Amino acid sequence: MFISVSALAQTTATTPPNEAAQEALRRQEERTRTQQQQAQSKVDILTASESKEDESDLPVETPCFSIAKITVVSGKNSQFEFLEQTTKAFLKHCIGVVGLSRIAAKLDAKLIDQGFITTRVSLGKQNLSDGQLIFNLHEGKIAEIVMSKNQGNEVRADDGWGTWKNAFPIAPGKVLNIRDLEQGMEQMKRLSSQSVNTKIEPGEEADSSVVRIERQAGDVFDRLHGSVTVDNSGSQTLGRGQISAAGSLDNLLGLNDILSLSSNVNAADPNPHHRSYGVSTGYNIPWGYHSFNFSVNTNRFAQYVEGTTARFLSSGKSNTSEMQWSCVVWRNASTKFAVQSSISARSAESFLDDVELVVQRRRTSNFEIGTSYKRFIDNGSIDFNLSYRVGTTWGKAQEDYLSAANNGLTVRPSILSFSAGYNQSFSMLGKPVSLSSSMRGQFTRDTTLSIDQLSIGGRGSVRGFDGDNVLLAESGVILRNELSTAFASLFGIQSNAFVALDYGRVSGASAQYLLGRSLAGMALGVRGQWQKYFFDFSIATPLLRPKRFHSDRFNPYFTISYSM
C-alpha cells in the first residue's frame, strides 16, 4: 500500500490514526537495522586472481619414456587428492629430463595455489621404463605457533590481553595452509585496536615451520571506540534532524570479540509524546572459520495525531533479538564462499493514548539460511548474497491468521532475499575514478505485513526523494549506482565528489493499491574526512515517480560524524 507519514498525521476516515504507529515503527526499525549494519566490522584479505600460463605442454626430448601412470605418494591425507587430477594432463606423453622438472614445477605451483606453501614434491630414484612415474610429497607442517610484538628494535613474546587461538584455525602438527593464516588475520583485524601480521620461519625439523603472529595491540582505552552522528534522515512529523551514537569495546573477553552499543533518536524535542528512537546491543565472537553474532534491538515511537473529533497519542514499541552463525566454507587467494543461518524473534505493541490495540499485538519468529560470495578482480570486486527466510512457531510465536490458508495476509511469510555488488577503479581523463553498483531485493508470493515488505523512496533505497512518502510492497528490487572521483587534499581534508543514479520497483499483492510501482532519482554530492570528522553532503532530485506521489523537487542530504 501507499503510505504517507504526513498523511497519517492528518487522519481521514479511510486512514485510522493507529496506523501511524505501525508505519513509524517500521521506519524506526529500518533505521536501527541500518545503523547496526554500518557498525559491523568486516575485513577481506583477498587479492585479484592472476592469469597463469598453461604449463601442461611438454618439450620433445630424446631420450624419453612413455608414461602411463603418475603417482603422488601422500600417505592417507585426502586433502592432496587434487594432485592426482593435475597429473592426468601428462599421461601418455613421452617424457624426458626437462619434462620431469616441468611436471614437478607444475605440482609445486598447484600446491602453492591451494595454499600449501611449505609443502613440495620430489623425485626419487625410479625406473621409467615400466611407464610409471612416482613423486614423493613432503608435507609442510606447523611445529610451533608464537604470538609476538615489536618493542622498538626488539621482538618479544606478546603476553598482553587477548589470544590468537580462537581466531586462527591452526594447531601444531597440522599441515600449514596460507588460507588458514589469512582467515585468522581477518578475524583478528576486525578489531580496529590491533594490527596483525604473520611470518613463517623454518622449524628445527625437516618440513616443519614456526608460525609467528605479530600483533600490535593498544591498552583498554585504545580498545574503546565511539562515534556521534547528526543527519537529516528523519521525518516531517518528528523533524528531519536525527542524532545517532555508537560505542564498542574490542576484546571484551580477550577472544577477539566485540561488544557494541548504538542508539538513535529524533533531534527535535525528544520526549515521551514526541519521539522515535532505537537502541541496539550486539556481541560478535569468531572461532576459526566460524563467526557468531548476537543482537538485541529496542525501538519506540510516539506522536500526537489528529482524529475527527479528538487528538490521540499514537505510540508503539518493538523488541527484536537475533542469533546468527556464519562459516567460510571455501576460500582461495581471490575468493571467499560462506554460508549463514540465523534465528530471530520480534514482538510489537501499539497504543492509542494508554490503551493497547490488542489486535495489532505481534509476536513472531523467523529462521533464515543464506550464502555469500566475494571475489576480487583487477582493481575491483564483485559479491553476491542470497538468503531464504521463513516464519516459524518457535518462541511462543502467535498463531498465523486464518486468511493465510487462502493465500491471504500472513505473519509467517517465506521470503527470498538477494543482493549483488560490483566495485571497480579505473582512470578517466587522467583522474582516478571509482564505480560502485549494487542491487538488492526480495521476492515472495505471500501477502505480508508492512514490516516484511520492501520500501523505496529515500536516501537508503532510491535517492532523490525526501522519504516522507514511500512505495511499499511484498516484492521488489533496488538498483543503486555511483561514480566518484577524489579531490586533491586541501588543508588535510580528503574528499570525493560523486554522482548517483538509483532505480527501484515494487510488486506483490499490495502493489495493486499503489499510485505506481517505480521510482528513479539521482544525487550529486561530496563526502570526505578531516581528522576524526566524516561528512557527506548531497542534493538529490526525483527523475521518475507516479502522479500524485509527493516529494520536494530538490532534497538535501547531509551526514556529519565524529569518531573517538
DSSP code for 393 = -
Residue ranges of E strands in 130-274: 132-138, 141-151, 154-157, 194-202, 208-217, 224-231, 242-250, 258-266
Confidence at residue 3, expressed as pLDDT on a 0 to 100 scale: 41
Residue 326: strand, helix, or coil: strand
Written as one letter, the residue type at 170 is I
Reference 28, options 233, 269, 322, 294; nearest CA is: 233
Q: To the nearest whole percent, how much of the chain has pLDDT over 70?
A: 95
DSSP code for 308 = S
**412-455 pLDDT per residue, tens:** 999 999 999 999 999 988 889 999 999 999 999 999 999 999 99
Contact indicator for 145, 168 with CB cutoff of 8 Å: yes
The rounded Cα 534 to chain-centroid distance in angstroms is 21
Q: How wide is the angle at C-alpha 111 spanned by C-alphas 174 and 143, nearest 5°?
A: 25
Report the chain's mean pLDDT, rounded to a whole number: 91
User: Per the structure block, which three cell numbers stand in for 390?
Assistant: 521463513
Contact indicator for 314, 321 with CB cutoff of 8 Å: no
**445-499 pLDDT per residue, tens:** 999 999 999 999 999 999 999 999 999 999 999 999 999 999 888 888 999 999 9
Q: With b meaning 16 or more CB within 10 Å and e meaning fewer, what string describes 94-117? A: ebbeebbebbeebbbebbebbbbb
List, in order, residues 6 or more apart from 506 with CB less than 8 Å away. Answer: 453, 454, 455, 456, 471, 472, 473, 474, 475, 476, 514, 517
Reference 168, options 80, 256, 283, 252; nearest CA is: 256
Rounded Cα gap, residues 105 and 334, in angstroms:
22
**130-161 pLDDT per residue, tens:** 999 999 999 999 999 999 998 777 788 888 99
- pTM over 0.85? The answer is yes
Q: How wide is the angle at C-alpha 150 spanned by C-alphas 144 and 156, nearest 5°?
A: 50
Backbone angles phi, psi at 302, to 5 degrees: -160, 135
Residues of the chain with pLDDT under 70: 1-20, 51-56
Burial label for 248, CB within 10 Å (0-12, 13-18, 19+), is buried
Structural domains present in the chain: 414-564 (2.40.160.50)
User: Per the structure block, which three cell numbers stand in for 308?
Assistant: 475527527
Rounded Cα gap, residues 159 and 295, in angstroms:
31
Rounded Cα gap, residues 111 and 139, in angstroms:
10
Reference 299, options 275, 327, 331; nearest CA is: 275
